[in-house]
Structure formats: structure tokens, C-alpha cells
Amino acid sequence: MGTTVQEMRLKNFIGGMWQASQTDQVLPVPNPATGELLAEVPLSTAADVDRAVRAAREAFESWREVPVVERARVMFRWRELLVQRVEELARLVTTENGKTLDDARGEVWRGIEVVEFAAGMPTLMQGYVSPQVSRGIDMEMVRYPVGVVAGIVPFNFPMMVPMWMMPIALAAGNAFVLKPSERTPLTSMRLVELAMEAGIPEGVLNLVHGGKEVVDALLTHPGVDAVSFVGSQPVAEHVYRTAAAAGKRVQALAGAKNHHIVMPDANLEGAVHAIRNSGFGSAGQRCMACSVVVAVGSVGDPLVEALVEAGDRMRIGNGLEEGVELGPLIRAEHRARVVERIHQGLAEGAVMARDGRDAMERLPQGFFLGPTILDRVNPEMTVAREELFAPVLSVIRADSLEEAIGVVNRSRFGNSAVIYTESGAAARMFRETVQAGMLGVNVGVPVPMAFFPFSGWKNSFYGDLHATGRDGVEFYTRKKMVTSRWFGGGR
Ligand code: NAD
């Protein structure tokens, strides 16, 4: 039974209906592990965006009036529907993104946890009152939804990143327009379907596929009040500048170059296990991935040797197969850019400790790259400075913790940083002086839980309020301060 072109072409979801974009421009969506064509994604137009934003504006007027306890009940139902489908969603994530099923299951749960957090909106949205701030005068703070929120998301977490945004924004009473990644559009569609099944009213949640044209239309549309973006640094900066100039509230989470400092007193086995998972897990395509290892003092040689062995043992292949630990990169073009960077690193003087490029020949049908380790990297080399987004580690040698922290702090990025040590004093010095938003102490992927903010620093974040936790509630609500007194009666 063949699939027709019409069935392959994905639809937008506007005003409660799946409908075709007017565009004739489409991009193929291949399974990155096999090259098999999964779908064709339309590069929708500004006119499609306009219809979605209008539908959202209209629906917002009644959704904001729905009592917050009822909106919370929709979250409870959505959560149940998602929990029943963890396996289905994980397989979908793996099929379009390439990460292993275990990684995908973890991601699905991370998304569900945000729905669980958002179900607490009746208390999260509460204001506060100070009676008698002056004689007979009371003061109160009350919260309201912001209006129409646009969410623009990357390819690397097809479930978790849209879920950083939608549950909190919707439970707070906003309407939403989601722009999925054009490279992983399928999971987003399923999330929207399940939200509707849970009871989100028509028009409150919309989805428009596409790329730059859709994004730029959302950033400047007068009907959009707030923009949540997650993606690469140059696009985050563009989104922040453009949306802010158009008078919108904006949070833009950007790229990363995460450093892991390994002290001579670290538990070597634990550190190697954590760095292997952080650096090579999800093929290095996490914004929290370890990218640079800073080895302090005598730990350098044994650490590199153990990392090479750990890389040798990783099973590469299609993430749908149980036991596979490393899936493909998202596209062949992305892999080609990474390979170019590896060449550049070698030309600039790095030493190849483990070469993962052989996977390209061994597994030619997908976009695979094996674990790659460059040793003797110095902080000025391009591989040490730029985000590669691949299973490639650069190892820098340092003589002291101070020198290692200096290396971390000279990076223009500041998403995450990790230290491996058994010394409380070293860990404390690291916490107090390192310039990054999400720190790990002997933890390789220190992702905050849904009830904490996801907080990059420097060029890893543009804006003020971060994603999830109380920051998320603050971002998706606006406040009124009411000062009141009553002249008549009651004396
Ligand atoms: P990307 O920047 O290429 O795409 C992100 C979104 O922006 C997509 O929806 C895409 O369609 C859109 N876009 C792309 N180019 C655009 C342009 N020129 N103008 C307007 N819109 C454009 O990012 P990606 O490759 O999908 O995702 C990987 C990146 O995301 C990495 O840099 C990673 O570090 C980052 N990321 C950051 C976080 C975080 O929390 N800081 C989380 C996940 C991913």
C-alpha cells in the first residue's frame, strides 16, 4: 500500500481544523537513521500565520474567562493521555530525530512533568494582598494571561521543548501558536492532537509548519503578545531583537558550549560514565551536552584513555533497536559541517584520540558519526569555541582549578558547566565563580526539573525570564496592582 503525496504532506492546525498551507514549497522529512522519507513539511506563508494568529486572538477572549481550576483539569486529562502513550511518543521522537529509544522515553517524561507542574496553575497564578497599607487602603496584585503566545522550537527535543511552553502558557489562560522544527514536525502534531482530545477549545492551540518566513511573520504580527524561542544562537539573537523591537515580551534560549572540569580527586569511573553519556548521548545534540572536557593536572592521560575506551564500547545504529546507544545526526549537511570542524581542529593542532568518522562508511544509509575525541585542544581553537552539536569532545589540559574556571568563563556561551570532584571546597569555588546558568556537581546533564527555571547565561540566553518553573508562570502572565479604598458605610 503506497502513501500518496497528499498524505505525505503535513497540514497546519488552525482554528481547530487541520488544513493545507497555500504554499507549494515543501521540505522532505527523512528518518535520519535510514534516510526513509517520513513526510513532506510545507514552508507555510505569512498568510497562514495571520490566519492562525487571528484564530488564537478570537479564542483567547473566551479561554481567558474559563476558571483556572477548569483549565487545570484539561492539564490533568492531557497528562493522562500522554502517560498512556509514552511508548508511542518515544518511538515517534526516535523516528524523526534519531536519538535512542531510552533517550526519547526520558524526553517524553520530561515533557509530561511540565504538564504536571502546569496542573498546579490555580496556586501558581495566585496574587497577593496587603491590607491596610495606609488607613483604610488595601493593595493587591492580580495575575492575568498575556494573550497570544508564539512558540518556536528546535529539532533536538521534539517533545520536551514544545512542552516547556504549551502547558504553562495554556494553563495560565493564553492562546498559543506553535511553529515546530521543520526537521522534526511530527511529534508536535501528535501533542496538539492530544491536547485537543484533552479539552483545549478550538482556536486556543494552533500549529503552523515552516521556517524563516513563518518565524518572521510571528515575530512582527501585531496579534502576538509574547514569543518563546529555543534554537541556535544566531537565530535566538535575531528573534530577541526583532520581537522586542515589535514590542513583544520575548525569551530566547540559544546555543551552548558546555565545559566539564575533571579534578585530579574525581571518581574517574563515575566521571567517565557521566561524560560519555553527556557528550555522546543523543549524538551530542543536546544544548546540555558536554562539549569541552577540561582535565586538571594528573588526571589528563588516564581520563582520555578511559573516554576512548568508553567511546569504543558504544553501539551505534538505529535508535529504535534496543541496545543501541548512539543514533545518527539530524541531517547529512549538519554532519558535513561537523566533519569540516574536525578537520579544522586537526589543522589547528589538536590530536585525534578517537576518530568516529569511520561510522560514515560502516553505516552509509543514515547520518551517523561515531564518538570522536580531540585531545590537546587549546581554548582558542574553533572546535573549543563554537558549538558543534555532535558526538565530539575536545579535551583541554589545565594546571589548576582556577585556570580551568578561567577557560570556562572565557567562553561566550554559558548554558551549563559541570565539575567532577570529591572536594566540597572545589565544588563550592566552582559554584561561586563559574559563569553559567545550570551547574552540575558530578552530574553530567544537570537539566532542571519542570518546577525550576531552565537558565542559560551569556550568549546562551536572550531575555529575562527563563523557561519553566516560576519563571515560566511569570513569563506567561501579566500583573495588575490594585490600590483600593471604600468611602461609604462600614465605619
Ligand atoms: P535552529 O536555530 O536552526 O532552529 C530553531 C528554530 O528557528 C526552528 O523552528 C527553525 O525553523 C527556526 N529558524 C531557523 N533559521 C531561522 C532564521 N534564519 N530565521 C528565523 N527562524 C529560523 O536550531 P536547531 O538546529 O533546530 O536546534 C539546535 C540548536 O538549538 C542548538 O544550537 C542548541 O544548542 C539549541 N538549543 C538550545 C536549548 C536551550 O535551552 N538553550 C535547548 C535546545 C536546543
491 CA to centre of ligand 1 in angstroms: 61
Residue 71 binned pLDDT confidence (cut-offs 50, 70, 90): very high
| Cβ 181 under 6 angstroms from ligand 1 | yes
- Overall average pLDDT of the 337-357 stretch: 98
pLDDT at 4 (0 to 100) = 53
At 327, phi and psi to the nearest 5? -95, -170
Q: Give the nearest ligand 1 atom to 216 CA.
A: 20
- Could you read off the pLDDT of 371-398 as tens digits, one per residue? 999 999 999 999 999 999 999 999 999 9
| Cβ 454 under 6 angstroms from ligand 1 | yes
pLDDT at 7 (0 to 100) = 74
Q: What are 229's strand-pairing partners?
A: 152, 252
Within 8 A by CB and 6+ apart from 90, the residues are: 101, 104, 105, 107, 108
- Could you read off the pLDDT of 75-107 as tens digits, one per residue? 999 999 999 999 999 999 999 999 999 999 999
381 CA to centre of ligand 1 in angstroms: 24
| Cβ 159 under 6 angstroms from ligand 1 | no
Q: Is the pLDDT of residue 3 over 70?
A: no
The Cα 102–Cα 442 span in angstroms is 21
Q: How many residues does the chain have?
A: 491
Residue 488 binned pLDDT confidence (cut-offs 50, 70, 90): confident
287 is catalytic: yes
Task: Tell me 192's DSSP state.
Answer: H
Q: Is the pLDDT of residue 491 over 60?
A: no
- Could you read off the pLDDT of 196-219 as tens digits, one per residue? 999 999 999 999 999 999 999 999
pTM: 0.97
Average pLDDT of the chain to the nearest whole number = 97
11 class by beta-carbon count within 10 Å (0-12 exposed, 13-18 middle, 19+ buried): middle
The Cα 316–Cα 323 span in angstroms is 9
| Cβ 107 under 6 angstroms from ligand 1 | no
Q: Is the pLDDT of residue 119 over 70?
A: yes
Q: Is the pLDDT of residue 5 over 70?
A: no
Q: Is 86 helix (H, G, I), strand (E, B) or coil?
A: helix
The number of helices, as runs of H, and strands, as runs of E, in the chain is: 18, 22
Residue 465's alpha-carbon distances to 413, 437, 476, in angstroms, are 18, 13, 10
235 CA to centre of ligand 1 in angstroms: 6
Residue 437 binned pLDDT confidence (cut-offs 50, 70, 90): very high
pLDDT at 1 (0 to 100) = 37
| Cβ 152 under 6 angstroms from ligand 1 | yes
- Could you read off the pLDDT of 457-466 as tens digits, one per residue? 999 999 999 9
pLDDT at 6 (0 to 100) = 54
- Could you read off the pLDDT of 406-427 as tens digits, one per residue? 999 999 999 999 999 999 999 9
Other CB atoms within a 10 A radius of the CB of residue 431 amount to 12
Catalytic residue among 287, 293, 326, 350: 287
The Cα 318–Cα 91 span in angstroms is 11
pLDDT at 490 (0 to 100) = 58
- Could you read off the pLDDT of 304-344 as tens digits, one per residue? 999 999 999 999 999 999 899 999 999 999 999 999 999 99
The Cα 337–Cα 323 span in angstroms is 28
The Cα 424–Cα 435 span in angstroms is 19
Q: Give the nearest ligand 1 atom to 389 CA.
A: 31
Q: Is the pLDDT of residue 2 over 50?
A: no
177 class by beta-carbon count within 10 Å (0-12 exposed, 13-18 middle, 19+ buried): buried
Residue 324: half-sphere exposure toward Cβ, Cα within 13 Å = 22
ipTM entry: 0.99
**Beta-sheet pairing, 461-462 with 249-253:** antiparallel
- Could you read off the pLDDT of 131-170 as tens digits, one per residue? 999 999 999 999 999 999 999 999 999 999 999 999 999 9
